[in-house]
Amino acid sequence: MEDGVKEKKSQVAPLWEAFHKNLLRHGIQQDQADWYVKWVQGFAKSMKGPLKSRSASDVLRYLEKLAGSNTMQEWHVKQAASALQFFYQEQLSIPWALKWEWDKAASHATALVIKNKTGVPADNTTSKKSLRISSSVQRFDDHVPGLQFKSTHAELIERLRKEIRQRHYSLRTEQAYEAWTLRFLAFNTGKIPSDSGEEDVRAFLDYLVQERQVSASTQGQTLNALVFLFKHAMGQPLGDIGTFTRSRRPRKLPEVLSVDEVERLLGEMSGVTALMAGLLYGSGLRLMECVRLRVKDIDFSYHQIKVWGKGQKHRITMLPKRYEKELHEHLKVVKALHESDLREGHGKVFIEPALARKYPGASHEWAWQYVFPAQTKSVDPRSGKVRRHHIHETSLQKAVKSAAGRAGITKAGSCHTLRHSFATHLLEAGYDIRTVQELLGHEDVSTTMIYTHVLNRPGLAVRSPADR
């Protein structure tokens, strides 16, 4: 009996070892990878039969079970959901896991955690305004309301999506506007959306700053989402909202690495993420500009990269000669993967709908493929088609952060730090600020001017009188 148990454990152990190694390869830190394995092991113990035979309903039941425990916090449930998503999508590549809406399941489970830990009745002596905020705290949190709440307002949300897609807004914008709409509706629970107006929007914006202490950019995004909701989805444009508490936007200088620190950071990286980080620094790309690069955007003959930046603004930046050979070799591997996808009946990539109608065959052409494709195919959340999308940005973010730690860099070593360092080092080399502005894709030169403060060059170089 004992020998049989040992044999069974020895058969399972390689699975967890392979899972743990896969997590580390994707840039997930050691301690977090350990927890991911523990969560999936806990799921395996709670279920009978092999893990490959488990379904989405099994995962949802497990998350709900965790949410019902008094010892669980919201972040526990979210981490467990992330672990199971990675396991079934990346480790096992189960078809249902590629289609399932994991974020909604996690939101549903975390909403149950909130429900279990709240519900304290309001004091009758409390003023009307504070009573409203107190009750809002019980039903509103940083997380998007759950599936049941969303189904209540399904018609309005569908109209919102339709209006957003007609204007060709990005999927991220759609997700953000939808999330803030649901939070606003949760804040005004018990009130018909069509009866809401300027006063409700003002109260919500006040609440975000006074109670949730959100940043200025978050509050601004919320206001844009609600203006769009009322004007286009509900057909009743907002009037004068009046005065509301505004979150202050702090004036921060960008974090910049020295040339030596950049080299140390890049020296700690390897593989595809090392190449991507090199382009962030060598070309001044934003994170999403890098992961969304297409093959046609790389011009080896002119040593240039064509970039579609924020707001679909086109610009050209340099392709560092240091990475040209490595990028050539990388594209050979990507092309072989693309040809393999074509043989399997896939190989099509996402293209803007208007362009896809004009050029029906472009989606499967080599020139339109992503330079940095994902390891596995996934389901497009809008069209439902199975495609190979670009690599997820978190892979690069985690790899850069982890490399900064190994390099002993105490500054905030992020992907955007590499872009800041690109701009600063160009100015240090004597290039004029308008050139740097064009390379960065800044609409206003005043945005680029912030890097002169890092250099202590608000116009001309200034020396302290003590150093004369």
Return the active site residues.
286, 310, 416, 419, 442, 451
| CA–CA distance, 140 with 189 (Å, rounded to integer) | 10
In 3D space, the residue among 360, 366, 392 whose CA is nearest the CA of residue 378 turns out to be 392
H/E element holding 305?
Answer: strand 304-308
**316: which DSSP letter?**
E
Are 24 and 33 within 8 A, CB to CB? yes
| CA–CA distance, 105 with 251 (Å, rounded to integer) | 38
What residues contact residue 119 under an 8 Å CB cut-off, 6+ apart? 138
For helices 415-428 and 259-267, give the axis angle rounded to 10 degrees.
140
In 3D space, the residue among 461, 369, 375 whose CA is nearest the CA of residue 98 turns out to be 375
Using CA atoms, how far residue 316 sits from 371, 447, 450, in Å, is 17, 18, 22
Is residue 30 classed exposed, middle or buried when 0-12, 13-18 and 19+ CB atoms within 10 A define those classes? exposed
| CA–CA distance, 310 with 318 (Å, rounded to integer) | 18
In 3D space, the residue among 294, 276, 297 whose CA is nearest the CA of residue 285 turns out to be 276
Q: What is the DSSP string of 162-219?
A: HHHHHTT--HHHHHHHHHHHHHHHHHTTTS-GGG--HHHHHHHHHHHHHTS---HHHH
Dmax (CA) for the chain in angstroms is 85
What distance lies between CA 336 and its chain's CA centroid? 28
Tokens of 75: 């972040």
